[in-house]
Amino acid sequence: MKRRIYRFSCVLQLVQKEQWLSMATEATLEKKEWKVQSYVEQQDRIWPKEGRHILAQYDDDTVVVYQAFSPVIAEYAIRNQKFGGEKFSFTRMSWIKPNFLWMMYRSGWASKKGQEHVLAVRITRAGFDQILSLALTGQAEKAAGRKEPAQVRLQWDPDHGPNGDPLPRRAIQLGLRNEVLKRYSEEWIVEIKDVTQFVREQNDLVKRNQIDKLLVAQERVYPILDQLTAAQIQVDNL
């Protein structure tokens, strides 16, 4: 009887320890501040002027990516902290962008139809790294002779300034489909934040040509530590 009680006590302690560790892990991934900084300061002093670089807001645990949607899809995402609902399709490719200004260019600062709401989606860094490890360009897919399309499509496009002018620097966007898209929504999302109001306020500054006052997401070059991934996505590591 004493042995049974002892074993039960040990099991209970183990379960409690696992629950505590789980709660501690979740606590580290709870809501974090979405940081902004002067565009001029970052462009002049922090960001590379050219090359293929992933500019992103990240910390040890998470990375922020951006998506723009219609009000219906955005409202569902904010309310449920994941994607879904009648208007969101898991059978279509969904594009994420770690670069805030590239999202502004693509969505017209939240003015294009179907892109009226800009979401800052904070995901786990492990999830983002896995997305990168699976990413292939369309050209790479053809060269590999794949029978099925890659679950992550990679594109390097010219980065753009606040006014939409193309820059020598290249920005990345990642198209997710199938199982990766489901895992992105169900497993990797830490928080979804609607930053549309901020976007509109900053767009007003752009329209008035007050770039010196413009604030954008605080970003720096994201390091690709896995050399195979770095070679696969053809990033220019600093």
Nearest Cα residue to 217 out of 171, 183, 186: 171
Alpha helices in 82-238 (DSSP H): 100-107, 125-134, 138-144, 178-183, 196-207, 227-233
Looking at the predicted structure, is the pLDDT value of residue 197 above 80? yes
State mean pLDDT over 33-54. 98
- Tokens standing for 140? 């790479």
Q: What is the mean pLDDT of the chain?
A: 90
Looking at the DSSP bridge assignments, the partners of residue 191 are 122
Query: What does the pLDDT look like over 103-143, one tens digit per residue?
Result: 999 999 999 999 999 999 999 999 999 999 999 988 887 77
DSSP state of 97: B
pLDDT category at 17 given cuts 50, 70, 90 is: very low
Between 14-28, 81-95, 127-141, 152-166, the lowest mean confidence (pLDDT) is in 14-28
Residues 6+ apart with CB under 8 A from 32: 59, 62, 122, 190, 191
Integer Cα distance of 59 and 222 in angstroms: 10
Query: What does the pLDDT look like over 47-81, one tens digit per residue?
Result: 999 999 999 999 999 999 999 999 999 999 999 99
Are 65 and 96 in contact, with CB atoms under 8 Å apart? yes
Other beta carbons less than 10 A from residue 94's beta carbon: 18
Nearest Cα residue to 35 out of 60, 61, 59, 68: 59
Residues 6+ apart with CB under 8 A from 37: 215, 216, 217, 218
Q: What is the CA radius of gyration of the chain?
A: 20
Nearest Cα residue to 175 out of 95, 100, 102, 106: 95
Integer Cα distance of 158 and 57 in angstroms: 19
Q: Which pLDDT score is estimated for 78?
A: 98
pLDDT category at 6 given cuts 50, 70, 90 is: very low
Integer Cα distance of 139 and 67 in angstroms: 24
